[in-house]
Amino acid sequence: MRPTDGNHVPHHLDTAGTMTTATTDQAALTGTWNLDPVHSNASFAVRHLGITWLRGRLDGFTATITQGEDGSLALSGEMPVSGVSIGDDQLLAHLASPDFFDAERHPTLRFSSSDLSIGEDGTLSIRGELAMRGQSHPIEATGTLQGPITDLYGGDRIGLELEAVIDRTQWGISWAADLPDGTAVVGRKVRLGAAIQLTRS
């Protein structure tokens, strides 16, 4: 994550109506930041039958941000395939099968990045590698970083909101079927989203 030369730091309203600051000060992010799972969530969405987005949760994931001696920031995390939640047991069983995640042979998804950049307005860009189904490919996520702030108990917190779009077939998740008019039953592009809080160790 690279600081900018601008002195103006915009403010934003959180859901409680409190003013929070989008940081551009890399020095403020020293140390190690670990996920607060209670106040974090992640999700996915994929086009279904060409008419709606099929949405689900991504549960049980971890995330850690660390700052190296040179001041650079690194983000890493992982999630069990069993953390994919979509509310239907039959569909979940299909997602765990070799048609999709092949969970028996590849039970964990992993992400790592040492390329985090931040703009004056708190916009965040993260380039890293997503490992899934035995393959690792580049992925880029964009969003915002808020904080650090001090919580009610004196702890330091930051908040990240991120979005990314991937092509599932890059990782060998290539199951496909078409409707009579040629429309794909399940789209190739998958939208990923996360809103997470991390606390400084």
Length of the chain: 201
Cβ atoms of 76 and 63 within 8 Å: the answer is: yes
Domains of the chain, each with CATH number or no CATH? 11-200 (2.40.128.110)
Nearest one of 79, 76, 66 to 26, comparing CA atoms: 66
**The Cα angle at residue 152 between residues 142 and 75, in degrees rounded to 5:** 30
pLDDT at 146: 93
Question: Which whole-number Å values give the CA distances from 49 to 46, 100, 175, in the listed order?
Answer: 10, 17, 14
pLDDT at 122: 81
Cβ atoms of 159 and 195 within 8 Å: the answer is: yes
Structure tokens at 194: 């996360």
Task: Could you list the beta-strand ranges (E) of the chain.
Answer: 11-13, 19-21, 32-35, 41-48, 52-58, 62-67, 73-80, 84-85, 108-118, 123-132, 135-150, 156-167, 186-200
pLDDT tens by residue, 101-129: 999 999 999 999 999 998 888 899 999 99
Alpha carbons 188 and 176: distance in angstroms, whole number: 9
| pTM of this structure | 0.85
Residues of the chain with pLDDT under 50: 1-20
